[in-house]
Amino acid sequence: MSNALSLLQQRHSAPSRQLGEPAPDAATLRALLEAAIRVPDHGKLVPFRLIELRGDDKLKFGAQLAERAIRRDPNLPESKREKERFRYTFAPLVIVVVARLDDEAGIPEIEQKLCAGNVAYNILLGAYALGFGAQWLTGWAAYDPEVASLLNLAKNECVVGFVHIGTPQAEIPDRDRPALDDLLSQWKA
Give the residue ranges of the annotated binding site for FMN.
Answer: 11-13, 38, 42, 136-138
- Which residues does residue 167 pair with via DSSP β-bridges, in sequence order? 20
CA distance readout (Å), 3 to 13, 87, 134: 19, 33, 19
Long-range pairs, 3-12, Cβ under 8 A, ≥24: 7/125, 7/128, 7/129, 8/125, 10/128, 10/174, 11/124, 11/125, 11/128, 12/128, 12/172, 12/174, 12/175
User: What residues form the annotated binding site?
Assistant: 11-13, 38, 42, 136-138
